[in-house]
Chains A and B, each alone.
Chain A
Amino acid sequence: EPEVTQTPSHQVTQMGQEVILRCVPISNHLYFYWYRQILGQKVEFLVSFYNNEISEKSEIFDDQFSVERPDGSNFTLKIRSTKLEDSAMYFCASSAGTITNNEQFFGPGTRLTVL
């Protein structure tokens, strides 16, 4: 069964450093998403991406964040200058985006720890 994969599973970085979180969505999906979950809290939407551009973003997704689909398979989230409060689980998701198949399939997550 196809699945969303994410690398690395755990990333430790120093405050102020740049990090890139990588995701490989399900191959025939057209919509891609990033969410984050701070420990013990709810899952929060960051950004959605379709047709090589951002379709929607939340207030969390400020200028420190960017997304890219550099090739036909990867979908990345970059945080330019990490802050302590960026420590969280980051989940990538993808969706076929049709009315009958609009559920999002989530990757296992990347745990980002900012020291």
Chain B
Amino acid sequence: AQSVAQPEDQVNVAEGNPLTVKCTYSVSGNPYLFWYVQYPNRGLQFLLKYITGDNLVKGSYGFEAEFNKSQTSFHLKKPSALVSDSALYFCAVSNFNKFYFGSGTKLNVKP
């Protein structure tokens, strides 16, 4: 069975500081892992994905994520947070038929 866990409901960080949003997964077979962002009253926007290859993947808006097979983690990172990064972030694992989303982490970036 596929599942995703986001252990933090909320992450608070000051603007300019690095941010990390945590995600761990459980899959059978090779994982396809994704991060999406949701701004208030909007749909989900694709940020980045890991399919295979380099463990560090880069995505939109300066975000990156590191795939760690031994720890079954796929944490989202950004070296310097912006106030405009404040949003709800969802990690997801996929087969072709559906995505399994984590419960979401609300990121608050304070000026």
Total A-B contacts with CB atoms under 8 angstroms apart: 57
Q: How many residues of A contact B (CB 8 A)?
A: 28
Within 8 A of B (CB), among A79-115: 91, 93, 95, 97, 99-100, 102-109
Q: Are B101 and A105 in contact (CB under 8 A)?
A: no
Q: Are B45 and A102 in contact (CB under 8 A)?
A: no
Cβ of A56 < 8 Å from any Cβ of B? yes
Contacts of A48 in B (CB 8 A): 97-98
Q: Kindly name the residue among B42, B45, B46, B99 whose own CB sees the greatest number of chain A CB atoms within 10 A.
A: B99
Q: Are A43 and B90 in contact (CB under 8 A)?
A: yes
Q: Are A56 and B97 in contact (CB under 8 A)?
A: yes
A43 and B98 CA atoms in complex are apart in Å by 12
User: Can you name the residue of chain B whose Cβ is closest to the Cβ of A104?
Assistant: B99
Q: Are A106 and B44 in contact (CB under 8 A)?
A: yes
Within 8 A of A (CB), among B43-62: 43-46, 49, 51
Q: Are A45 and B100 in contact (CB under 8 A)?
A: yes
Q: Are A103 and B49 in contact (CB under 8 A)?
A: yes
Q: Are A108 and B97 in contact (CB under 8 A)?
A: no
Q: Kindly name the residue among B32, B44, B104 whose own CB sees the greatest number of chain A CB atoms within 10 A.
A: B44
Residue interface mask A14-49, B partner, CB < 8 A = 1: 000000000000000001010100000111110010
A-B contact pairs, 28 of them (CB 8 A): A31-B96, A33-B99, A35-B99, A41-B103, A42-B101, A42-B102, A42-B104, A43-B44, A43-B101, A43-B104, A45-B98, A45-B99, A48-B98, A56-B97, A56-B98, A95-B96, A100-B51, A103-B49, A104-B99, A106-B36, A106-B43, A106-B44, A106-B46, A107-B43, A108-B42, A108-B43, A109-B42, A109-B43
Chain A residues proximal to chain B, CB less than 8 Å: 4, 31, 33, 35, 41-45, 48, 50, 55-56, 58, 91, 93, 95, 97, 99-100, 102-109
